[in-house]
Amino acid sequence: MQPRHLPTPTRDRPPASVGGWRTLALLAVVAMSSGCAGLRDARPVDWWRNGLLVGPNYCRPAAPAADDWIDADSPKLIPSPTNEEDFAWWETLGDPVLNGLVQSTYEQNLTLRAAGQRVLQARTQLAITTSGLFPQHQAYEGGYTHVQRSRRGDLTGLNELNNRLPTPIQIPRTLESWRHGFTLGWEIDVWGRFRRAIEASDARLGESVQNYDAILVSLIADTATAYVQLREYQQRIALAEQSVALQQSSFGIAKARFDQGAVTELDIDQATATLANTKALLPQLSIQQRIANNQLCVLVGLPPANLASRLPPAPVPAAPAEVVVGIPAELIRRRPDVRAAERRVAAESALIGVATAELYPAFSITGSLGWHASEFSSLFTSAANNGTVGPSFHWNILNYGRIANNVRVQESKFREQVALYQQTVLRANQEAEDAIVSYLQSRELVAALQESVDALKKSSAVAVIQYRNGQVDFNRVATVQSQLVTYQDNLASAQASVALSLIQIYKALGGGWQIRCGVSSESVVAAAEPERLPPVEPDPPLQLIIE
C-alpha cells in the first residue's frame, strides 16, 4: 500500500522505445539467453511481464504495529478514526493566542522554508532524471580549421609522390575546412535502467515532501510547547510572588511579636530564611521564562525580543478531558517521518533495478547530420551535406564481478532501509505510548496536588491565626508555608504537564501538517501532493500573529 496521494513509482511508465529496430531486438534476445555467468538465470518472460524492467517491483514492507494502546481501556482515550479535530489539534486547547503563533510559525519559520527548498530541489531532480528517457546527447556543433603545411616537411614527401604520377596535381600548401551540424546519441531504455532511476527520484521527491511535513509537525508542537512553558513560568512566578507577599505578612507578625517581647529572635531569623528561600525561586523561574520567550521568537522567525507586552500573564491552556488517538496501526499513514522512511525504502528498491541493468548490454542509436566545405560560401549548399546513423551496443561483460557485487550492495542498502523503516514504526509507537501515559498520569497528579494545595491553604491560614494568638510557634507557620510554596509550584508544573503531554500525543500521532493545505476533509484529499506545498517566494514579511 502506497502513502495516499503520492505519485507511485510504478505508475504511468513511459513506453519502452524498442519497436522497429530488428538488430536491437535480436541483440536483446541474445543478451537474455546468454550463457554468461549471472545472466543464465534471467528469464525473458519475467522481464517482459515486468514491463520491460529488470529488478524488483516495489511493495511496501510489513511493519510491526501493536493491535491497541496499552491504556486503551481509559475513558479519556477515544480510539475513533482521524477527524478534522486532529488536523488542527492546537485549537482543542482553546487559546486564540496559540492559534496565531502556530500560524506565524507555519508562514515564517526559516527551517521550514529551507525544507520547502529541498522539496523544490527534489522536484527538479526528478525532471532531470526523467529527461534520461530521451536522447541523452543532443548537440549542435560547428567549427573552422586552417591548415598550413611545411615546405620542408609534409610537402616534400607529397611532392615526391606526386611527381611519380602520370599527371601530377597541384598540392596546396594551405587547407581550410568549414563545418556545422547536429549530433545525437540515444541509449534506449531496454532494461528499464532509466525508468528505475525515475522511480528512485520519484520516491526521493515523496520523501522530501514527507520530511517537510515531519518538520512542520515538529515545529508546530515545539511552538505549542514553548507557549505552554511560557504560560507555566508566568503562572509559577505569579504564585511565587503571592507566596512572597504571604510570607512577608507572616514576617511582619513575627517582627511585631518580637518587638512586644513575646518571642525570641529565632522567629525573626526563621521568617527571614523562609522568605528569602521563596524569593530565590523568582530569578530561577525568570530565567526559564526568558528561555521559553526566546525559543518562541525563533520558532516564528523573529529575532529574540521581550514578548511581555504582547503576551501578558495568562493561565496555562486547559487540555480537553478526552483525546482522540485512533489505533496504533494508523501511525504508518499519519506520521510523516514514517512515510518518509517508507519512501526511502522505495527509492532503494528502484536502485536495485538500476544496478541490475548494468549486467546487460546497452543499446544505442547514434547519428549526425551536418555540412562540410572548404569554402564558407559553399557551407550551406546541398552538396556540402553529410550524415551518419546506426545502432550500436555496449556490454561490460568483462566487469561482471564488479557489477554483480554492486547489485548485492544495493540489495543490502534496501534491506537496511527496510529495517530502519520498521524501527521508525516501533519508535513512533513508543513515542505515542510515552505521551499517552504521561497525559493520563499527569491528570492524576494534578488531582492529588490540587487536594494537597487546598488543604495547605487552610492550614496556612489557621497556623498564622494560631501564631498571632500565641498558640503555636513560628516553626509551624514556616513549615506549612514552605510546603504550600512547593506544592503550589508543583501543581502549576503538573497542570502544564497535562497540556504538554497532550501536545506530545498529537506530535507522536503525526497531526498538524495538514495546516499547509487547509483544515477540511476536501483539502486533505490532496494533502501529500508536492504541488500543494506553499510558495516560498516571495517571502512574507515577518510578524507575530496574536489573535
* Highest mean pLDDT of the ranges 67-81, 157-171, 309-323: 309-323
Each residue of 59-86: pLDDT tens digit?
899 888 888 899 888 999 887 765 555 6
What pLDDT, on the 0 to 100 scale, is given for residue 155? 58
The kind and range of the H/E element at 77 are strand 77-78
User: If pLDDT is split at 50, 70 and 90, which confidence band does 398 have?
Assistant: confident
What pLDDT, on the 0 to 100 scale, is given for residue 480? 93
Q: Which residue has the higher pLDDT, 36 or 157?
A: 157
What pLDDT, on the 0 to 100 scale, is given for residue 37? 34
Report how far residue 192's alpha carbon sits from residue 190's, in angstroms, rounded to the nearest whole number: 6
What pLDDT, on the 0 to 100 scale, is given for residue 520? 37
39: CB partners within 8 A, 6+ apart: 31, 32, 359, 360
What pLDDT, on the 0 to 100 scale, is given for residue 15? 37
* Residue 151: pLDDT over 70: no
Per-residue HEC secondary structure of 318-370 comes to CCCCCEECCCHHHHHHHCHHHHHHHHHHHHHHHHHHHHHHCCCCEEEEEEEEE
Instruction: Work out the angle at residue 336's Cα, subtended by the Cα atoms of residues 230 and 296, and round it to the nearest 5 degrees.
Output: 15
Phi-psi region of 494 (alpha: psi -120 to 50; beta: other; left: phi over 0): alpha
Report how far residue 479's alpha carbon sits from residue 166's, in angstroms, rounded to the nearest whole number: 131
Q: Spell out where 362-438 has E strands.
A: 362-373, 385-394
Instruction: Work out the angle at residue 27's Cα, subtended by the Cα atoms of residues 23 and 32, and round it to the nearest 5 degrees.
Output: 150
In the predicted model, what is the mean pLDDT of residues 382-400?
A: 87
What pLDDT, on the 0 to 100 scale, is given for residue 160? 66
* Residue 441: pLDDT over 80: yes
User: If pLDDT is split at 50, 70 and 90, which confidence band does 543 have?
Assistant: low
* Residue 401: pLDDT over 70: yes
C-alpha cell at 49: 511481464
Give the CA diameter of the chain.
Answer: 148
Lowest mean pLDDT among 276-280, 397-401, 447-451, 500-504: 397-401
In the predicted model, what is the mean pLDDT of residues 362-376?
A: 89
What pLDDT, on the 0 to 100 scale, is given for residue 13? 37
Please give the model's pTM, rounded to 2 decimal places: 0.81
Selection from 502, 436, 500 nearest residue 73 by Cα = 436
* Residue 255: pLDDT over 80: yes
In the predicted model, what is the mean pLDDT of residues 344-365?
A: 93
Tell me the pLDDT of the chain averaged across its residues: 83
10 Å CB burial of residue 299 (0-12, 13-18, 19+) is: buried
C-alpha cell at 425: 514504526
* Residue 214: pLDDT over 50: yes
163: CB partners within 8 A, 6+ apart: none
Domains of the chain and any CATH numbers: 22-50+73-135+190-532 (1.20.1600.10)
In the predicted model, what is the mean pLDDT of residues 106-113?
A: 93
Report how far residue 329's alpha carbon sits from residue 68's, in angstroms, rounded to the nearest whole number: 8
Q: What is the DSSP letter of 515?
A: G
Question: Angle between the 193-259 and 110-130 helix axes, to the nearest 10 degrees?
Answer: 170
Check if the beta carbon of residue 71 is closer than 8 Å to that of residue 437: yes
What pLDDT, on the 0 to 100 scale, is given for residue 171? 58
What pLDDT, on the 0 to 100 scale, is given for residue 6? 35
Lowest mean pLDDT among 75-84, 122-131, 177-186, 325-334: 75-84
Selection from 355, 311, 333 nearest residue 98 by Cα = 311
Phi, psi angle pair for 373, to nearest 5°: -150, 155
Lowest mean pLDDT among 302-316, 368-382, 439-453: 368-382
In the predicted model, what is the mean pLDDT of residues 15-41?
A: 40
* Residue 521: pLDDT over 60: no
Dihedral sign for Cα atoms in the order 244, 247, 251, 256: positive
User: If pLDDT is split at 50, 70 and 90, which confidence band does 172 have?
Assistant: low
What pLDDT, on the 0 to 100 scale, is given for residue 22? 46
Lowest mean pLDDT among 47-51, 390-394, 408-412, 449-453: 47-51
Lowest mean pLDDT among 148-152, 323-327, 528-532: 528-532
C-alpha cell at 311: 503576551
* Residue 508: pLDDT over 90: yes
Count Cα atoms within 13 angstroms, Cβ side, for 306. 5
